[in-house]
Amino acid sequence: TLYLAVHLLDSYLRAGRVRLHRLQLLGVACLFVACKMEECVLPECASLCLLGAGSFSRAELLRAERRILSRLDFRLHHPGPLLCLGLLAALAGSSPQVTLFATYFLELSLLEAEAAGWEPGRRAAAALSLAHRLLDGAGSGLEPALYRALKAGDHEVRAAPGHPDDAVPASPADTNVLRYIQLTQLKMNRRSLQREDSGAGAGPGNRDVIG
């Protein structure tokens, strides 16, 4: 649900601009839509409004939900990185500890805007590879072919395990993704301190509102 909500938020922001003071409403509305897609028990609108400390009403939340559905043209399904992580962890024989650690890295990547442009599969593979490296033997060894890419026409596909002749060395982009996730926690702490110093003032360029 969390990853789908973030995906909906990113997709909405790519499709148009939103005023800074309406970002909280947009985020809660995306969470509301994601819950309807993923959860069996839905949160009440009143409970979600409490998250905003009275900054928006139930009617505004429902109106924001309708605008999200309209702007995204009801294209709500998304194969998130968590699904890819489960598949890769099963193929690699990863232990529960390694998988949990990789999930932690995926959650950290949600804090970085650059991560929104990463492919879910590559993002999950980088997080799982990093978890294996840090825990050093807490799970089964990785199949290197799981993390190597081939070019097939205009599409990038994964090489199948057991076929080393078809595999190529990891691209610089894969290495950069892995390094980026390794530095995410340090960057998060530094930026958190910067936000406390500078405050949350609205920039002059954020003038359009949701709707």
Q: Does the pLDDT value for residue 181 go beyond 60? A: no
pLDDT in tens, 39-70: 888 888 888 888 878 788 888 888 888 888 88
Q: Does the pLDDT value for residue 24 go beyond 60? A: yes
From the CB of residue 111, how many other CB atoms can be counted at a distance below 10 Å?
Answer: 14
pLDDT in tens, 185-200: 455 555 555 555 555 4
Q: Please give the Cα distance from 161 to 79 (Å, whole number).
A: 22
Q: Letter for the amino acid at 154? A: D
> Do 2-71 and 81-196 show the same overall fold?
yes
The first and second tokens of residue 18, run together, are 């939103």
| Domain limits, the chain | 2-71, 81-196
Q: What's the predicted TM-score (pTM) here?
A: 0.58
The first and second tokens of residue 183, run together, are 């530095």
Q: Which CATH superfamily is domain 81-196 in?
A: Cyclin-like (1.10.472.10)
Q: Tell me if 101 sits within 8 A of 134, measured CB to CB.
A: yes
Second CATH level (architecture) for the domain 2-71: Orthogonal Bundle (1.10)
